[in-house]
Structure 1
């Protein structure tokens, strides 16, 4: 469910990115209280067409007694309708439709040693994680390894520097630039699997890190995961969120033909319905023809908003960059990427 929220601040971060803050009214405080790492979906209607985009929350999570601060980071995407609007037109006082926080790429504050490898705008959810963790848990430590193109393109420079100043003994920062040389620190270049495999053991005790958080472009996240697995890190300690999936960068499954007369039964908000699945349509598209309130945001298998439990039947997911292995093993699928592989499929969006 979307709520109309007023924009209270728009801050330019770089030439192509900004932070947007929304005012949360008291009656929606609990609705918009987030766990570090979560995101929100924003909606805009242009010429009768609905545009939805997801953006991660960069502000620290509020305590149960404090009013929530809802601040998101937005980077310009070439040809992106919403990001262009947000950076060029959105102003204080405007109203935007916002869905409550969601997502399972999150870090609940607790004692321990944690680390993140991020690229570009992948810093956004991790900034919330690090700030909240260090502020609430005096015995927690956080290592941030970030990769950006240039200093001028680096989002949240001041916020990250503030963490370093406030928690010099517990916050470790390592920065790399792919298109610009630094006066000190690591040499320029991309953080690929081989480089990370050599770098990480030199920075911190890899085996002692309780949680690794990987966020950014597909290539960086996949390379970091392979490097960590090669260093003996168990899969359960690695959490990832993909921000950009370049064409051809990920293997696509061979499409399966929709069975003749395939049908989908879905439960959403306690109500169930059964509908025929058209050839080529995803299960989400099938539900949306009759239920406009079906949850979704990106439709690209990245945000996880359309997660549903597969009650019965079989499906094929074209892509999955949102669900953890334990979620798919438990029976969850992404409706936007799923197509029926059996004549009858039953989904439950409420589980």
Structure 2
């Protein structure tokens, strides 16, 4: 459900990025109370066509929710162009309640974030909340940006370093500009991270790794961590931008570590992300006729699936209130529980391996394999 919120402030962060703050009325404070790391979906209508985009909340979690997001201009991006060039204080934007599972509930321990570009946004909320609430918590932030001028939330991160000098470790790398001090310039690829991380901290004692940013960086960081024997359940990922096409079915095993493996899943026996199916990838054979039954907000309905369409599109044709944002398998807004039947997911950049193993799928990427499929959006 969307709520119209007034824009309270727009702050220019870089030449191509802004921070937008929304005013949350008192009656919606509980609705917009967020867990650090969550995101919101924004919606606008242009010529009768809906445009939805998700942006991470960068402010710390608090009793008085401050709803501030970072938006970076994307080439040909309809919403980001509007946000940077047209959106003004006083305007109203439709905003969905916070969601997302790339989160860290504050607790004692040692945690690390590896971020690239605008991937700093959710991790900024995670770090600020964690260090303020848990005196026994430590956080190391490894961030990669193109240049100093393109670095988002530079002042906010510097402030955290000043406030928590003994518990916040900051490592900055610029890929296209030399620094006077610190690490040499260049991309944070898998090999570099495998050398850097053990030199920075005791890898084995880190309780949680939070990887956020472009697909290439997140993929490289996860492979580096797995090479350093970090357990998979300690690694959490959020992809901010994907330029690569969806992986073909034959690439299941190769793409698995990136969380991008398309899978054939069945309720009760869902292979975890990163697990190749027995005997290799199962061939996809769409049924001649299929029906999806979906439960949403306590109401269920059954509808025929048109040839080739994802299940989300089937549900949306009959229930316009079905949750979605990116439709690209990235944000996880359309997550649903697979009650029965089998589906094939084209791509998965949003669900953790444990969620897939428990029976959750992305409706926007799921196609029916059996004639009857049942989804529950309420679980």
Question: Residue 151 of structure 1: SS of its match in structure 2?
Answer: coil
Instruction: Please state if 1:74 is matched with 2:71.
Output: yes
- Structure 1: which 5+ residue stretches go unaligned? none
In structure 1, the residue matched to 2:86 is 89
In structure 2, the residue matched to 1:335 is 363
How far 1:257 moved relative to its partner? 4.5
In structure 2, the residue matched to 1:265 is 293
Q: 1:253 aligns with which of 249, 252, 259?
A: 249
Q: 2:373 aligns with which of 329, 341, 345?
A: 345
Residues 13, 156 of structure 1: 8 Å contact kept = yes
In structure 1, the residue matched to 2:57 is 57
Residues 257, 279 of structure 1: 8 Å contact kept = no
In structure 2, the residue matched to 1:148 is 145
Alignment of 1:1-351 (within 5 A): 1-63=1-63, 67-248=64-245, 251-253=247-249, 256-351=284-379
CA deviation digits over 1:27-72, x for unaligned, max 9?
Answer: 0001000000000000000000000000000001113xxx210000
For residues 207 and 231 of structure 1, what CA distance do their matches in structure 2 show? 8
How far 1:273 moved relative to its partner? 0.6
Runs of 4+ in 1 over 6 A off after TM superposition: none
Question: Residue 285 of structure 1: SS of its match in structure 2?
Answer: helix
CA deviation digits over 1:5-33, x for unaligned, max 9?
Answer: 00000000000000000000000001000
Question: Residue 164 of structure 1: SS of its match in structure 2?
Answer: helix
For residues 33 and 320 of structure 1, what CA distance do their matches in structure 2 show? 27
How far 1:258 moved relative to its partner? 2.8
- Structure 2: which 5+ residue stretches go unaligned? 251-282
Residues 253, 319 of structure 1: 8 Å contact kept = no
For residues 253 and 78 of structure 1, what CA distance do their matches in structure 2 show? 29
For residues 247 and 204 of structure 1, what CA distance do their matches in structure 2 show? 32
For residues 141 and 258 of structure 1, what CA distance do their matches in structure 2 show? 49
How far 1:284 moved relative to its partner? 0.1
Over aligned residue pairs, what C-alpha RMSD do you find?
Answer: 0.9
CA deviation digits over 1:130-157, x for unaligned, max 9?
Answer: 0011111111100000000000110000
Residues 142, 171 of structure 1: 8 Å contact kept = yes
Residues 119, 147 of structure 1: 8 Å contact kept = yes
